[in-house]
Amino acid sequence: MDSSSLSPYILLFNALSKIPTWHYLVAFLIISVTILYNFLEVHFFEDVFFKSQGTPITYNPSSPFCNAILSNCKILHSRFVATPWISSPHFQTAFLQFCGRSPGFSYRRQLFHTSDGGTIALDWLMNADVSGGAFHINGASLPMNNSISQDETTPIVIVVPGLASSSTSHYLKNLAFNMAKNRWNVVVSNHRGLGGVSITSDCFYNAGWTEDLRAVANYLHDKYPKAPLFAIGTSIGANILVKYLGEDGEGTPIAGAVAVCNPWDLLIGDRFICRGLLQRIYDKALTIGLQGYAHLHEPLYTRLANWEGIKTARCIRDYDNYATCPVGKFETVDTYYRRCSSAAYVGNVSVPLLCISALDDPVCTREAIPWDECRANPNIVLATPQHGGHLAFFEGLTASTSWWIRAVDEFLDVLRSSPYIHVQKNQTSGQISALDSSIDQYPRLHGAEDGIVTAASDDEKRDGIEEIKNAADAW
């Protein structure tokens, strides 16, 4: 048959059938790898061929603190390059959870009792322990035995763990060891019911529970008045830390702080974590961790919350609906997320604060970062590396170091020897609430004939209010 009379589709099929099978296999492999490369957000080739200039930093350019501190933070300005074989936010985050390595040591355990009857495990690692090598052993926590005198001047850093994390988590042990090695006394303030300590009151921690951090900070400041007090929060712990700093304003004894991988806005984070397939996997994994926490304290949850709902929860939102809201007396889950989000408190932070958030964090979305609020506050430095995952930032060929831990240590080391550390001031107005409206608190403006606008005096404000009332009556 003449080939010109054949259908073009038959001609195409005949031509394709002459291509060797292995060519198709190679093409299929390339397409599959490309799809998987993009799906897992791998950035190996980007790191190799498209080198960025450094870590993007957002700050108030007119702030003397920001300009002075940042000029001495070389690590913070440096470009984070992920370990090549885990150059994906998902690989980085998974490596942190399943393959993380940490130094072998034991903390000194101190049990702190709160005013409501709660118990918090404070796990200490002192600079003297690390430099002397006495605690390079694995095993249970050792008793505190009042090893720090009240005249101690070595700076103390409080570490606030993430969701369902404790002082034994790999990333926290690496942080504590690195800080203690570099002349800090470190204390990990475990959340209630974690660190092997039972719940001793009807109060549980949540994403916005700042009372425990406030109590611990005040206690340490009173007991060791000569030791500057700093704080580091990670993940949910970062949200708690920033919210606390915003609530207490100038009244906090914290001299400087760092928030790493803060979720910022819990409502936005809730929408994000159930959006895609990979995010739903993280959602489920975190829910299982919370259910494990609930099982440790089943009798209390059975009495105070919906135990059957907790056991069948499929996502964090379900867990919060059945556990967090009943215990914390929140009307709805959205109410809980709104009231406990730290983004609303950023403008009130009066302490030098470094915030580190990876733009590819698969748990805490970049959409929730309060860029403008951080830029407007002269006390805040916001570093947003393009990559890093969630609390990972592994670097080097062996993934033996974490960029954020090095950056945090450098920032706090520069800060503690500078004149910009915060000094606690008396605050008579009490805690600041992000829910209070400030519309009526702004001064009434008075316009003079020469065009100059000034704030009205109290008498003028009262006169203005009377004028409005009279006009309303006349109407």
Active-site residue list: 235, 361, 390
Nearest-angstrom CA–CA distance, 123 and 105: 12
- The whole-angstrom separation of Cα 194 and Cα 169 is 11
Half-sphere CA count of 401, side-chain side, radius 13 A = 14
Residue 108 corresponds to which amino acid?
R
Mapping DSSP onto H, E and C, the string for the chain reads: CCHHHCCHHHHHHHHHHCCCHHHHHHHHHHHHHHHHHHHCCCCHHHHHHCCCCCCCEEECCCCHHHHHHHCCCHHHHCCCCCCHHHCCHHHHHHHHHHCCCCCCCCCEEEEEECCCCCEEEEEEECHHHHHHCCCCCCCCCEECCCCCCCCCCCCEEEEECCCCCCCCCHHHHHHHHHHHHCCCEEEEECCCCCCCCCCCCCCCCCCCCCHHHHHHHHHHHHHCCCCCEEEEEECHHHHHHHHHHHHHHHHCCCCEEEEECCCCCHHHHHHHHCCCHHHHHHHHHHHHHHHHHHHHCHHHHHHHCCHHHHHHCCCHHHHHHHHHHHHHCCCCHHHHHHHHCHHHHHHHCCCCEEEECCCCCCCCCHHHCCHHHHHHCCCEEEECCCCCCCCCCEECCCCCEEHHHHHHHHHHHHHHCCCCCCCCCCCCCCCCCCCCCCHHHCCCEEECCCCCEEECCHHHHHHHHHHHHHHHHHC
